[in-house]
Amino acid sequence: MNTEILGIIAMFVVTLLLGLPLGKYIAKVYGGEKTWMDPIWGPIERFIYKISGVDSSKEMTWKEHLTALLTINLVWFLLSMAVLMNMEALPLNPDGNPNMSTDLAFNTSISFLVNCNLQHYSGETGISYFGQMWLMFLQFVTAGIGMAAAVVIFRAFRDKTTTQLGNFYDFFLKSCTRILLPISIVVASILVFQGMPMTFEGKDTMINMQGDTVEVSRGPVAAFVPIKHVGTNGGGFFGANGAHPLENPTYLTNMVEMVAQFIIPMAMIFAFGFFIKRRKFAWMMFGVMTVGFLILVIPNVKMEMAGNPAITEMGIDNSLGAMEGKEIRIGAAASGFWSIVTTMISTGSINSMHDSYMPLSGMNELIAMMVNAFYGGVGAGILNFFIFVILAVFISGLMVGRTPEFMGKKIEAREMKIAMMVALAHPFLILVGTALATAFPTQGAATLNNPGFHGFSEILYEYTSSAANNGSGFEGLGDNTLWWNISTGIILLLGRFIPIIGPIAIAGLLAEKKFIPEGEGTLRTDTSTFGLMVFAVIAIIAALAFFPALALGPIAEYFSMS
Amino acid sequence: MSNQQSLFQKELMQQALKQSFVKLNPKIMFRNPVMFTVEIGTFVMAIVCIWVLMGETEQGSFGYNFTVFLILFLTLLFANFAEAIAEARGKAQADSLRKTREETPAKLKNGQTISSAQLKKGDVFVCEAGDVIPSDGEIIEGLATIDESAITGESAPVIREAGGDKSSVTGGTKVLSDRIIVEVTTQPGESFLDKMIALVEGASRQKTPNEIALTILLAGFTLVFIIVTVTLKPFADYANVGITIASFISLFVCLIPTTIGGLLSAIGIAGMDRALRANVITKSGKAVETAGDIDVLLLDKTGTITIGNRKATHFYAAPGVADEVLVRAAVLSSMSDETPEGKSIIELAAVNPVTYGVSKPTFVKFTAETRSSGVDFGNTRIRKGATDAIRNVVAQAGNAFPAEVEERVRAISQNGGTPLVVSENERALGVIELQDVIKPGIQERFERLRKMGIKTVMVTGDNPLTAKYIAEKAGVDDFIAEAKPEDKMLYIRQEQANGRLVAMMGDGTNDAPALAQADVGVAMNSGTQAAKEAGNMVDLDNDPTKLIEVVEIGKQLLMTRGTLTTFSIANDVAKYFAIIPALFITAIPALQGLNIMRLESPQSAILSAVIFNAIIIPFLIPLALKGVAYKPIGASALLRCNLLVFGVGGVLIPFVGIKAIDMVVSLFL
């Protein structure tokens, strides 16, 4: 078999094999069970609680969880604005990069705060090392927030009837110390050995093969890149993100970075199963997500490896695949694979230019973000998937003649209202954002590099990426303008917090309800039949909401090509 | 009364057609958010038509716009018709029940005769043989045999008498013998039937919790498509595609779940109507829905699991007692015992009690305290009753209770029989064995219930041994033996505390608290007023196995909603493939590739989709009214089955339907 294909299969299998035990470990961490990490992190955590005065043993209701979550985010936002707008006055700025403008700082702060990392600046020229370090901190804590939010849901279904859902700070801090940090350290060690820079010195100069002297940006890259992936953040140290040779130097780093971004979303599914002691349910989730993943990724890899027929027609050798915008050291297959993983799990880091992909590959990347629940971002993926499960439970419950119930809890009007609002928010943000950008061509369309269908895809992609908190760009878009900074900033905020608040509220409400033991008439949610139902709900909702937009973008482009 | 009624009778159709127009009133329409948006769309199309007539040229021909308007208008009418025909059928059913009790003269106690319509709560009237009872009420004096066939369809007359649990009479039934004095128990217009009719007619119909949740889901989908349609305008402008208002509205109406939106209230009414057809009056739509969720079913043994009553099958004399002595005592004690058990003892003995020549017997009635009955004459005191009751009598007199009798009692109990011990002058004479006869076919019904995931519990006054035997033989999951009324209550509370929903059936006043506590309480029509007030359904047939039907009706109701929702949403896939290419093809010819149905022209494609969207509603009315059949094959298998039929079918059918309509439509364009 083709080595390129073997390479991507290996990445998937390794992730799965590592994800299973990691899931078990994560379940133990959140369950408060003993792990071998206790002696290392226990004292550090206790110290942090001591200086911050937080009582991590206090049980919280779902509302208290949300209050804690939103407060902590607000504090980071304010700090972030202060850092990014004053980098000239702060240390660690060897290249003398300038302060960010208010709207760019707003966009960047929010973007990193919501674990999206849409970047309207370039790392080489737009930010100091101190700024980068601050963003690195945000990459840790926002991933921790997403995981902590997911654990609130774990807790809601572990106990039969309860209002006490654990302590938010406990979940949050443990996510950072016990999970994100250790994995990042392992990943960083490998990357450093593959030649990734790790320095506070400014730009280096070198003479290239043409004899020109060029300046090469560098910095604490090896510290930054691991959490960018492990936390499914995706914000690049350099503008070119994972396509940059210093940010992703070899095929091996490409594999390591791939596994690093894929592993926690996958492990969280299994952790859910271990935590609530319903492993079969976790496999159902894994099954649905994997089927969705394969449906998107296989055509992408195939189309990218096959290359652009228009180029073949011109008599140009296309045997390497559609290599425009791709790195030769990574290749078409691994790029195509990455493009779907990164959009699906909301990392948004790229190792090739999505703008250059075949039209239908670009569509699949869009669909991955429009669904946003196949694996999904750390924590956030489960939250999004949970909404689809609630909708599927409701419809299928009716279909078998019983008031719908999930994990022994009845789904009633209040839960449906919240679930529908969350499900609506995503298409609303994407479509309304895109509509506004197309309705005001001086703000939106004028910044496009490409006219026509492809230009439309670029706008659609930008807002989809924002709403899905993905952060990757189709690029080809002059996006550092007031319009783009503010509009995507708002969408980022809503796209982050609505899908956190909604599911936690539903889980909290369900947790308070009386537990109904499973009987013969109860619809089991851990079967392949139910999995099929969830998949159908996801597919139909995504297809129905976005089909017209996709028809005018990538689909029209595809049919125009042939 | 006939339960056979064809789906679309002429009278009903006329009534429903009229109502379809009345219901166009936006105030009424507003209750249904999905159809309300269609009404707005129709209104907009009317304005577009006028606009085109006034000379606007960019919106297409008047004929095309007017056709779209007409089809949308029809969609509204179809949806209204679905609701109206369901209401009409329910009302007709209720009316036919009500008719039996109208215009009956009522003889008041003071001799005055007034019309039944004038009877008020608390009035007292007299009925004699041959009279039709003018109103629901409770017998306060007398006993009568009554023909209830007008209500229940059962021809065998029943006995109703003052006091006890059989004191209730129903308006419209006929007194066959004797004379009773009855007190009216309901205000005119407030009988259960009146309440039910009001529910069906919509006056007091409230959305059930599940209906509300589903409406939210449907409203959500409607909102999604509002967003999709509105944002399509700037998208199209960007791509330089001109889209007419008719196309926008057609796209929107086709995408929102009009099929389920149009049929939703019809499904709910039809659920109550099906209950009524099964001769069950429901006090709310919610009760029917809850019935589908029942986890535990409490059933009385007598009449439900076993045929009527026990029969005496054996006499077992105590040691040292001649068989004839026991038989004589047994027969004498049963002489005035009107219970079926008592009669069966005399039947078994095959002796005429008169031949014993007892003079001046005094009969001792059965009471709950003594739990025995008997007869006194001269110095002889004969008692017959439950083992421990007679044992007490014997022990109190200082006599020994023979071990052989004790042994026999246990043996009978173990075989599912009921022992009755007979004593004469506080000496145990022996045992009469009574045996239960289990209803044929009841095992299969319990098996079906088990497959539905419902636990059956038999409630009986029998001792635990007997109860266990019958429970096993009949195949119920659990039993409450030696049950006192408060035991039922306790059991229900216990199950409910564990999160289960409980249904029960009862008739007596002492059942009332349990009926009220149960999630679904079905009171028998023959039961006391208190029982009927406490339950949330009344069974006119007094058939204890009716609960099983009620559960299935509840399940059908939810299933019909679920499957039609799935069908409605699945339809959108094909509609998209019809409309989206039609919208864009003129400006972007490349998108012809999406026209996988190869529809003739953009106009014919849009019309076909809208026509399909409209006519699918009347096509599905029969299904909405009859309900989707429930099969007890386990939840997952049922989901697979319904997903295949309504999900996959819902994706495929419109492809075929729209293509077929397009072939016809293109002939006219």
* Whether residue A268 has pLDDT greater than 90: yes
B499 shares its domain with B622: no
Is B346 contained in some domain?
Answer: yes
Whether A443 and A469 have beta carbons less than 8 Å apart is answered as: no
Residue A84: phi and psi, rounded to 5, are: -70, -25
Distance from CA of A336 to the nearest CA of B (A): 25
B500 shares its domain with B515: yes
pLDDT at B2: 40
Which of the given ranges, A286-295, A399-408, B191-200, has the highest pLDDT on average? A286-295
B77 shares its domain with B177: no
B310 among annotated binding-site residues: no
Residues in chain B: 669
Residues in A touching B239 (Cβ below 8 Å): 452-453, 456, 552, 556
Residues in B touching A401 (Cβ below 8 Å): 292, 554-559, 562, 630, 638
Whether A174 and A224 have beta carbons less than 8 Å apart is answered as: no
Which tens digits make up the pLDDT trace of A297-315? 999 999 999 988 888 888 8
Q: For residue B643, give the DSSP letter.
A: I
- Could you please report the per-residue DSSP string of A189-226? HHHHHTT--------EEEE-TTS-EEEE--SSHHHHHH
C-alpha distances out from residue B602 to B248, B599, B664, Å: 13, 8, 14
Contact A435 B450 (CB under 8 A): no
B621: enclosing H helix or E strand: helix B602-626
Q: What percent of chain B has pLDDT over 90?
A: 27
Burial class (CB in 10 A: 0-12, 13-18, 19+), A326: buried
Distance from CA of B239 to the nearest CA of A (A): 7
End-to-end CA distance of chain B: 52
Select from B395, B418, B437 the last residue of a domain. B437
* Whether residue B341 has pLDDT greater than 70: yes
Distance from CA of B220 to the nearest CA of A (A): 6
Q: What does the alpha-carbon distance between residue A547 and residue A460 come to, in Å, rounded to a whole number?
A: 12
B322 shares its domain with B433: yes
B416 shares its domain with B337: yes
Whether A41 and A29 have beta carbons less than 8 Å apart is answered as: no
Q: What is the dihedral sign for C-alpha B328, B334, B336, B342? A: negative
Which tens digits make up the pLDDT trace of B436-467? 778 777 888 888 888 888 888 988 877 788 78
pTM for this prediction: 0.86
Is B113 contained in some domain?
Answer: no
Residue B39: phi and psi, rounded to 5, are: -65, -40
Which tens digits make up the pLDDT trace of B531-550? 888 888 888 877 777 888 88
Is pLDDT larger for residue A154 or for residue A119? A154
Contact A408 B592 (CB under 8 A): no
* Whether residue B3 has pLDDT greater than 70: no
pLDDT at B200: 67
The domain spanning residue B345 has which CATH number?
A: 3.40.1110.10
Is pLDDT larger for residue B189 or for residue B408? B408
Q: What does the alpha-carbon distance between residue B167 and residue B163 come to, in Å, rounded to a whole number?
A: 6
Displacement of CA A403 from its chain's centroid (Å): 34
Which tens digits make up the pLDDT trace of A208-235? 888 899 888 889 999 999 999 999 998 8
Which tens digits make up the pLDDT trace of A331-384? 999 999 999 999 999 888 999 999 899 999 999 999 999 999 999 888 889 999
* Whether residue A445 has pLDDT greater than 80: no
Contact B239 A552 (CB under 8 A): yes
Residue ranges of A 529-548 with Cβ closer than 8 A to chain B: 529-530, 532-533, 536, 540-541, 543-545, 547-548
The catalytic residue positions of B are: 300
Whether A433 and A491 have beta carbons less than 8 Å apart is answered as: yes
Nearest CA to B513 among B537, B496, B488? B488
B367 among annotated binding-site residues: yes
* Whether residue B172 has pLDDT greater than 80: no
Q: What is the dihedral sign for C-alpha B336, B339, B343, B349? A: negative
- Specify the pairing of strand B520-524 against strand B537-539: parallel
Which residue in chain B has the smallest CA separation from A423? B220
Is pLDDT larger for residue A426 or for residue B377? A426
Contact B216 A420 (CB under 8 A): yes
Is B152 contained in some domain?
Answer: yes
Q: What is the dihedral sign for C-alpha B518, B519, B523, B528? A: positive
- Where does the pLDDT of residue B308 fall: very low under 50, low under 70, confident under 90, or very high at 90 and above? low
B214 shares its domain with B89: yes
Distance from CA of B295 to the nearest CA of A (A): 8
pLDDT at A284: 95
Q: What does the alpha-carbon distance between residue B395 and residue A46 come to, in Å, rounded to a whole number?
A: 75
Interface A-B, measured as beta-carbon pairs within 8 A, has a size of 210
pLDDT at B116: 75
Whether A502 and A422 have beta carbons less than 8 Å apart is answered as: yes
pLDDT at A491: 93
Q: What does the alpha-carbon distance between residue A180 and residue A29 come to, in Å, rounded to a whole number?
A: 12
Which tens digits make up the pLDDT trace of A496-550? 999 999 999 999 999 999 888 887 778 889 999 999 999 999 998 888 899 999 9
Is B395 contained in some domain?
Answer: yes
- Could you please report the per-residue DSSP string of A50-90? HHHT--TT----HHHHHHHHHHHHHHHHHHHHHHHTTGGGS
Which residue in chain B has the smallest CA separation from A428? B227
One-letter-per-residue 3-state SS of A489-505: HHHHHHHHHHHHHHHHH
Query: Helix A380-399 and helix A413-439: axis angle, to 10°?
Result: 120
Q: What is the dihedral sign for C-alpha A22, A23, A29, A35? A: negative
Q: What does the alpha-carbon distance between residue A156 and residue A176 come to, in Å, rounded to a whole number?
A: 22
Domain count of chain B?
4
Residue in B219, B220, B239 closest to A423 by CB: B220
Q: What is the dihedral sign for C-alpha B348, B350, B352, B355? A: negative
Which tens digits make up the pLDDT trace of B44-89? 999 999 999 998 888 888 999 999 999 999 999 999 999 999 888 8
Which residue in chain A has the smallest CA separation from B296? A519
B563 shares its domain with B659: yes
* Whether residue B146 has pLDDT greater than 70: yes
B81 shares its domain with B208: yes
Is B483 contained in some domain?
Answer: yes
Determine the residue among A400, A436, A458 to mutate to test chain B binding: the one whose Cβ has the most chain B Cβ atoms within 10 Å.
A400
Contact A395 B647 (CB under 8 A): no
pLDDT at B4: 44
Whether B171 and B123 have beta carbons less than 8 Å apart is answered as: no
* Whether residue A328 has pLDDT greater than 60: yes
Averaged confidence pLDDT in chain A: 91
Is B194 contained in some domain?
Answer: no
Q: What percent of chain B has pLDDT over 70?
A: 93
Burial class (CB in 10 A: 0-12, 13-18, 19+), B601: middle
A 10 A CB-CB count for A209 gives: 5
pLDDT at B71: 96
What is the domain extent for residue B153? 120-187
B259 shares its domain with B173: no
B341 among annotated binding-site residues: yes
Is pLDDT larger for residue B311 or for residue A45? A45
B613 shares its domain with B662: yes
Q: What does the alpha-carbon distance between residue A347 and residue A408 come to, in Å, rounded to a whole number?
A: 34
Whether A346 and A376 have beta carbons less than 8 Å apart is answered as: yes
pLDDT at A8: 93
Q: What does the alpha-carbon distance between residue A79 and residue A77 come to, in Å, rounded to a whole number?
A: 5
- HSE on the CB side for A355, CA within 13 Å? 17
* Whether residue A448 has pLDDT greater than 90: no
B236 shares its domain with B379: no
Residues in A touching B455 (Cβ below 8 Å): 519
Structure tokens at B107: 């003889």
- Where does the pLDDT of residue A266 fall: very low under 50, low under 70, confident under 90, or very high at 90 and above? very high
Averaged confidence pLDDT in chain B: 85
Is B224 contained in some domain?
Answer: yes
pLDDT at B514: 86
Contact A398 B565 (CB under 8 A): yes
Residues in chain A: 562
Select from B412, B437, B462 the last residue of a domain. B437
Burial class (CB in 10 A: 0-12, 13-18, 19+), B482: middle
Which tens digits make up the pLDDT trace of B416-441? 778 889 998 888 889 998 887 787 77
Is B651 contained in some domain?
Answer: yes
pLDDT at B8: 63
Determine the residue among B210, B222, B250, B447 to mutate to test chain A binding: the one whose Cβ has the most chain A Cβ atoms within 10 Å.
B210
Contact A401 B592 (CB under 8 A): no
B222 shares its domain with B257: yes
B175: enclosing H helix or E strand: strand B174-184
- Where does the pLDDT of residue B156 fall: very low under 50, low under 70, confident under 90, or very high at 90 and above? low
Across A440-455, average pLDDT? 76
Report yes or no: A411 at the B interface, CB cutoff 8 Å: yes
Which tens digits make up the pLDDT trace of B204-241? 667 788 888 999 999 999 999 999 999 999 999 888 88
- Specify the pairing of strand B455-459 against strand B296-300: parallel
